Chain A
Amino acid sequence: MKLFNFHLMPWPKIPADVRERYTSSWVLMPNTVYDPVEGTGLYAEYLDQLVFADEIGFDAVCVNEHHQNGYGTMPSPNIIAGVLAGRTKNAKIAILGNGIALRENPLRVAEEIAMLDVITGGRIISGFVRGIGAEYFSLNIDPSTSRARFHEAHDLIVKAWTEPGPFAWDGEHYSYKYVNVWPRPLQQPHPPIFVPSQGSSETIEWAAEHRYPYVCTYTPMPQLIRYYDEYRRLAEERFGYTAGPEQFGWTSLIYVAETEQEALEAVAPHAQYFAERCFALPPQMLMPPGYTTSGSFRRMLEARGIGGPQAAPDLNAGEVLIGTPDQVGERLVNNMERCGAGIFMGMFQVGDMPHAKVMRSMELFADKVLPHLPRDPAPKPVTSSVA
């Protein structure tokens, strides 16, 4: 399997009464809650954690894009990727992903990813996401155009990477007289494209069609298996190929300690912080109008009940990876086999978990878990055939 280290870079001082005071830790929580002096030290620690993952042999480190919130302080994931480019040596840098539907100028994403790919000697994985609902408020993009913008921005970026410029792009949402990205990406035909998603049927089909590795986050294991089975079925029956484990990622919170009790106690307050404060998102911010189809909206409503609380994200989908090295190693392999994933994305830092705790767990993971994991190199992820 491939090992990815997944990081959100959360703000660790969201007030306990964030919902009452600000409704949400997204969009409306004032940025005076953020302390730039403390932020400097925090970025340094978070970056150290990712650099350490590279040193101990992770296949990739992951960064991602979120705006105007305390959940993840990487509004520009490509800046963090640029920093990691100079500080990591072997690990791929997986940007999971750029919120391309949120961009007024997605050509900028094509340029930045190409730059990063050349600078790193081809170590970039390029995830593309629509961005979560709240971000359509933050960046003032009409959510009813989200999916159309995502698809057009994707088509534009891939064409910019793969076809000689200059060419003109005359789309519904974007238009350019001259598309001619300098530099071009190093990896051919282009850096691998990953699709992180919450399991909408439209995205599963689209990812399967393009053979893009698909990663479902925060999703309970039985549901996740249904999504991945659907991807495999579509690949086989509609798109004429067999989707292997290298096309599926599985994400989980992970924490290793000498005893299970110690591990559970170490994680509990930070997982709670994540659920209650980082994920303080009322339904109308998570699902703004038109962000999802009315069919998907109805399924979501039926699942949680009218007026019911928003489902908390499932950080431990599957057998919980919080325990002793033996427990975590065994459960990790079990979970990967259950859902047929070849890429493990471990979230070692969660919520307000401090640096020292994260490092203790990662060091123990490096010493006692990682050497026993089946690390046979999976085949390279299949990239787009779009030319």
Chain B
Amino acid sequence: MTADVRTTTIDVRGTTVPCLVGGDGPPLLWLHGAGGSDSWSPAQDALATAFTVWAPAHPGFAGTPLPDWVRDVHDLAFHYVDFLATTSLDRPTVVGISLGGWIATDLAVHRPDLVDALVLVDALGLRPESPMPDLFIMEPAAAMGVLFNGPPPMPPPGADGGDPMDMIVRMYEEQAAAARIMWKRSYDPRLERRLHHLTMPTLVIWGGDDRLLPAEHGRRLADLIPGARVEILDGVGHVVPLEAPDAFARLVTEFALASIGGPS
């Protein structure tokens, strides 16, 4: 790790948000997926050479309680409107991964004025062409097999010296927070009609071997967003930043730096 990363706690209208902040440069808001809420990954580290990366944990993640006010994805989108106001982040590039990609899309649909550029990575949100595999009903190993192309690129519970019981309980809590958003359905049937509101420069990045949402879905998402560009990474699974951190960071950096100050 090269970037100087600090953990800060931000009070967003009464909700405690743990947030990792690292790097130097224009602001980049990183919205994590249904896991990986509290670790600084190599992809984030690479982005930190060009940006100040802000990586908050969604409510209910990273050991925070799941608030009653979280009822669906819109509550998280508006939570990030409040987060941006609280932190005075000025029109960041917003990068959303998987579940975080859905939140990022919703945020940008409602408040395009707050987002300088948008990067959607194997994002949920748009209704899939065929039913998505149900990760909740799978044994953990089977779910990992759907998410990753090959062995999971992170240590198993307890490998870092922590108590494996703590990690498993944390995962259970985070799955509950994810369930609140995506149990009934992991998309919003209304989103397709709203995607034309995404007038900011948008890059869609997708794993070519994503077995949760196939690359074809990523292409369709990009087609529905005005002027969006799509990049498919061959041989990569659902969690692109973990499987291909360097290629991912390069794409995001080039795109976002070129977009700064562009049309909104």
Contact = CB atoms under 8 A, between A and B. Distances in A.
Co-assembled chains A and B: yes
Interface of A: 27-28, 136-137, 140-145, 148, 172, 282, 284-285, 287-290, 294, 297-298, 301-302, 306
Nearest to B138: A284
Contacts of A142: 179-180, 183-184
Interface string B55-86: 00000000000101000000000000000000
A294 B175 CA distance: 11
A146 to B, nearest CB: 10
B164 A144 contact: no
B169 interface: yes
B175 to A, nearest CB: 4
Contacts of B176: 143-144, 289-290
Contacts of A141: 183-184
Contact of B165 (A137, A290, A302): A302
Contacts of B1: none
B137 A285 contact: yes
B169 A298 contact: yes
Given A137-B137, A140-B184, A141-B183, 14 more contacts: A140-B183, A141-B184, A143-B183, A172-B68, A288-B179, A289-B136, A289-B172, A289-B175, A289-B178, A289-B179, A290-B175, A290-B179, A294-B173, A306-B165
B174 to A, nearest CB: 8
Given A27-B137, A137-B136, A143 B179 contact: yes
B169 A294 contact: yes
A306 B156 CA distance: 13
A144 B180 contact: yes
Interface of B: 66, 68, 134, 136-140, 157, 164-165, 168-169, 172-173, 175-180, 183-184
A294 B173 CA distance: 6
A297 B167 CA distance: 12
A141 B183 CA distance: 7
A290 B180 contact: yes
B169 A284 contact: no
B66 A144 contact: yes
- List the 10 closest pairs (A to B, CB-CB), nearest first: A290-B176, A289-B175, A289-B176, A142-B183, A144-B176, A289-B179, A144-B179, A144-B180, A298-B169, A294-B173
Contacts of A145: 180
16 contacts: A28-B137, A137-B136, A141-B183, A143-B183, A145-B180, A148-B68, A284-B140, A288-B136, A288-B179, A289-B176, A289-B178, A289-B179, A290-B176, A297-B172, A301-B168, A301-B169
A95 to B, nearest CB: 27
Contacts of B137: 27-28, 137, 284-285
Nearest to B164: A306
Contacts of B164: 306
A139 to B, nearest CB: 10
Contacts of B178: 289
Contacts of A290: 66, 175-176, 179-180
Contacts of B179: 142-144, 288-290
B177 to A, nearest CB: 8
A16 to B, nearest CB: 21
Contacts of B184: 140-142
Contacts of A301: 165, 168-169
Given A143-B179, A298-B165, A282 B139 contact: yes
Nearest to B140: A284
Contacts of B139: 282, 284
A285 B137 CA distance: 6
A233 to B, nearest CB: 28
A137 B175 CA distance: 14
Contact of B172 (A136, A294, A302, A306): A294
Contacts of B169: 294, 297-298, 301
A72 B169 CA distance: 31
A142 B181 CA distance: 9
Nearest to B34: A289
